[in-house]
Structure 1
């Protein structure tokens, strides 16, 4: 992400009265990524052991996400990495975890849920995390984006604790395996109606390690 794009992204996220959507792409380096996903997914040792053995050190917020149960499945891995990537690249490590998925309350309940809430400076930021797999076509990417963005819209209206949805900035964080899929996602996003895109900053991270896209996880 360029310095100018980073400035715009921070400006958008920093305003909870966000009216215009934004789309940004983050390219991670190859350094240490294999140890990150592979060690996080290993079930032979505790989460703390995995952290101690990693060549990168997770920040406190990502650590909390890693060791806290979520709504189900192994999405905790991508959620943990999401916190770390956004904290390092977008928020300059100036973040505090407010709540993880199971500690967030909605009314009415039973609809789409956000994955975690963080505090960045004075801004409350709600983040939903997803992946788009290699081999996806434009229709498939469009369906994923529309489903997730409509879910974010529902969560924004129903979120009431520990903060109100109207008091948050909203990010949809998407992991993709390569630049080709990133371009596909951007094209799909551009074709969505403004009513679907509005008020959400979409951040796409190119993360090449295939373990993150294990469909059985």
Structure 2
């Protein structure tokens, strides 16, 4: 909630990481957005990956232009995947996307081999 935007009700960055290079006074900020590649009760497809990537990467680019209280150097889109198979689908679809989507964003995939961790609290099969 510490990120200020010029326009409200637009895509938002989840959080900023700020750092300063040694011997430099300039502070760099990296924006981070987090999502999950998950299809509930069905197989995850290339279409799912394309829809997720284009939506989130468009949102990241829009958010970068809309932030007023920090100068964003790059953004990271961190995607949680329930398996290596899903991560490979996302990776292959990402490799075919236009530079319009990918030019200013680093995409990081994390594989968590446990389905219940990627479900929202309301959908979880397991009580914590």
TM-score (norm 1): 0.49
Corresponding position: 1:139 with 2:47: yes
Cα separation, 2, equivalents of 1:194 and 1:103: 30
**Dislocated runs of 4+, deviation >3 Å:** 120-123
Residue 114 of structure 1: aligned partner: 13
Which runs of 5 or more residues in structure 2 are unaligned? 22-27, 124-128
Q: Larger strand proportion, structure 1 or 2?
A: 2
Residue 198 of structure 1: aligned partner: 103
Deviation at 1:121, TM superposition (A): 4.4
Deviation at 1:103, TM superposition (A): 1.6
Q: Larger helix proportion, structure 1 or 2?
A: 1
Deviation at 1:136, TM superposition (A): 1.2
Residue 187 of structure 1: aligned partner: 92
Which runs of 5 or more residues in structure 1 are unaligned? 1-101
Cα separation, 2, equivalents of 1:160 and 1:179: 37
Alignment of 1:105-184 (within 5 A): 105-122=4-21, 123-133=28-38, 135-161=43-69, 163-164=70-71, 167-184=72-89
RMSD across aligned positions (CA): 1.6
Residue 119 of structure 2: aligned partner: 214
TM-score (norm 2): 0.81
Q: Deviations over 1:181-202 (max 9, x none)?
A: 0100001101211111111000
Corresponding position: 1:103 with 2:8: no
How many residue pairs were aligned? 113
